Amino acid sequence: MKKKRIVILGSTGSIGRSALDVIGRYPDRFEVAGLAAFSSIETIAKQINTFRPVAAALYNEEAAEGLARKTGMPVWGGMDGLCKIARLEEADFVISAISGAAGLLPTLAAIRAGKDVGLANKEVLVTAGAFVMDEARRYGVKMLPIDSEHSAVFQCMERGGHGLNRVKNIILTASGGPFFGKNRKYLATVKAADALKHPNWEMGRKITIDSATLMNKGLEVIEACHLFGVGHDKVKVLVHPQSIIHSMVEFVDGSIISQLSKPDMRSPIAYALSYPDRLEDVIPQLDLTAISGLTFAHPDLETFPCLAYAYKALGAGGTATAVLNAANEVAVAAFLEGGIGFNDIPAVIEEVMSAHPPRPVSSEHDALEADKGARAAAHSVIKRRKKV
Ligand code: NDP
Ligand code: MG
C-alpha cells in the first residue's frame, strides 16, 4: 500500500504530538512530509530529527531562520510559509491543528491544493465554515473530523446509512469541564490554574479554558452544523462527565447510535488518517465493566452563557460566528494572563457581539475582516473593564 504523506500544521501542540505518535507507530502506512508551528524551535527540531520531513514552517520569521540554520533544511516563515507548507507537493493529507483562527488561511491553502484535510482546528469552521465547506466541495477534497465529538458523529452517520433526511438530532456530549455543577458566584473566584485542570482530557491551554466556559461546546455546535450540513436546531448538547460516549446521532425512527472509547485523541486522529480503513490497537481497550455509570445532564446555560452565545451567533449567521470566535480568543488570552476574571469572558463576548451586526461571508477576507474588527473591539472592552 502506498504510504500517505502528511503535513501537520501545529505539530508541536497537543494534537500535533498525538498525531506524530500515531504516525510513528504505523510507519508502513504513513510518513511525515512537512511540519509547522508558531515558534517552538526546540520541539520541532526534535520532531524533524525523528520524522525527516522535506520541509518545515514557523509563523515567527526569526524562529524560522533559526530553525533553518539549526537543521539545514527548508524552513518557511510567516503566514505565507504556513500556506506554502500546506500546499506541499510531496503531501497528500494535511492535519489542521494550529489553535485559533490563525489556522484559516493555511487550511484553505491545503484545500485549494487538493489535499484532504484532517480537521482538529474547529475555529476554521467557526470563522468561515460555510465558505470553507463550499471550497472543499469545489476542490473535491475530504474534510475528515479530528475533534472527538465530530469523529463520533461521522462514524455514527456512516452506520446510520440513510442520509441527512433520516437524522433527527445530532447530540454532542460535553464533559462539563472542571466547573460542572458550580454557580456564577463560585466562578467569579476561579483562576487560570483552576480552569486549566480538565477532568478527562490533556489539551492545549486555549481549548482547556474553552472547555471550562462551555465555549468549546459552542464552537463544536457551529463546527457540526458546517461539517454535517444541518441546521442548529438539529444539534443538541448533553453533559456527560465520564467522556466515554463521544457523541450520538438520533434517527427519525427513535433509534440512537453512539460511539464509545476511552478519552484519547489518538483514536479520532487515527480514524481521520486511515479512513475508511481502521488501524489495529490504536488505543487501549475500553473495559465497560470498569465504568461505574454513564450519566447525562442538560447544560446550565445561565451559568455558562458562552454556549448560548454560540447558538445565537449561528442564528444570526454571516460574520457573527467569526466575531464570537475572535472575541473569545482575545478574552481567553486575557483570562490566562490574569487580566480579567472567568465571568468576564462571556461578558466581553456578549458586548462585542451586540456591537457587530453580521455581514455576509463570501470570501476568507470577509471573515478575517470581521475577525480583526472583533479583536480590536474585545481589546478595548477588556481595557475598559480593567479600569472599572
Ligand atoms: P496547543 O496549544 O497544544 O497547540 C497549538 C499548536 O498550534 C502549536 O503547535 C503551536 O505552535 C501552533 N500555533 C499556534 N498559533 C500558531 C500560528 N499563528 N501559526 C502557526 N502555528 C501556530 O493546541 P491543541 O493541540 O490543544 O489544539 C489545536 C487545535 O485542535 C485547536 O483548534 C483545538 O480547538 C483543536 N482540538 C484540540 C483537542 C485536544 O485534545 N487538544 C481536541 C479537539 C480539538 P507553538 O508550539 O510553536 O506555539
Ligand atoms: Mg471536542
Expressed as residue numbers, the domain containing 73 is 4-145
Residue 222 has pLDDT above 80, yes or no: yes
Count of domains forming the chain: 1
User: Does a structural domain hold residue 167?
Assistant: no
Report the pocket of ligand 1 as residue ranges, CB < 6 Å: 10-16, 37-40, 59, 82, 97-99, 102, 120-123, 147, 201, 203-207, 265
* DSSP 8-state code for residue 286: P
pLDDT digits (tens, 9 = 90+) for 15-45: 999 999 999 999 999 999 999 999 999 999 9
pLDDT digits (tens, 9 = 90+) for 233-253: 999 999 999 999 999 999 999
User: Does a structural domain hold residue 49?
Assistant: yes
User: Does a structural domain hold residue 84?
Assistant: yes
Q: What is the per-residue pLDDT for 234? A: 97
Q: What CATH number did the domain enclosing 125 receive? A: 3.40.50.720
User: Does a structural domain hold residue 223?
Assistant: no
Choose between 201 and 369: higher pLDDT.
369
Using alpha carbons only, what angle is made at residue 107 by residues 378 and 358, rounded to the nearest 5 degrees?
40
Helix axes 344-354, 306-316, angle to 10 degrees: 20
Mean pLDDT of 73-96: 98
Mean pLDDT of 380-387: 90
Region of poorest pLDDT, from 193-207, 263-277, 299-313: 193-207
For ligand 1, atom 9: residue with the closest CA: 10
The answer to whether residues 241 and 180 touch, using CB atoms and an 8 Å cutoff, is: yes
Q: Which of 164, 139, 126 is nearest to 322 (CA)?
A: 126
Report which residue type is found at 292: S
Mean pLDDT of 172-182: 97
User: Does a structural domain hold residue 101?
Assistant: yes
* DSSP 8-state code for residue 276: T
Q: Which ligand is nearest to the CA of 243?
A: 2
- In ligand 1, the atom with minimum distance to the C-alpha of 79 is 19
The answer to whether residues 152 and 256 touch, using CB atoms and an 8 Å cutoff, is: no
Mean pLDDT of 327-332: 98
User: Does a structural domain hold residue 85?
Assistant: yes
Mean pLDDT of 99-110: 97
CA 324, 201, 208, 153: dihedral to nearest 10 degrees?
0
User: Does a structural domain hold residue 77?
Assistant: yes
Residue 354 has pLDDT above 70, yes or no: yes
Mean pLDDT of 98-127: 98
The answer to whether residues 319 and 327 touch, using CB atoms and an 8 Å cutoff, is: no
Mean pLDDT of 48-52: 98
C-alpha cell at 24: 510513528
Residue 388 has pLDDT above 80, yes or no: no
- Strand pairing of 55-58 and 75-77? parallel
User: Does a structural domain hold residue 158?
Assistant: no
The whole-model pTM stands at 0.98
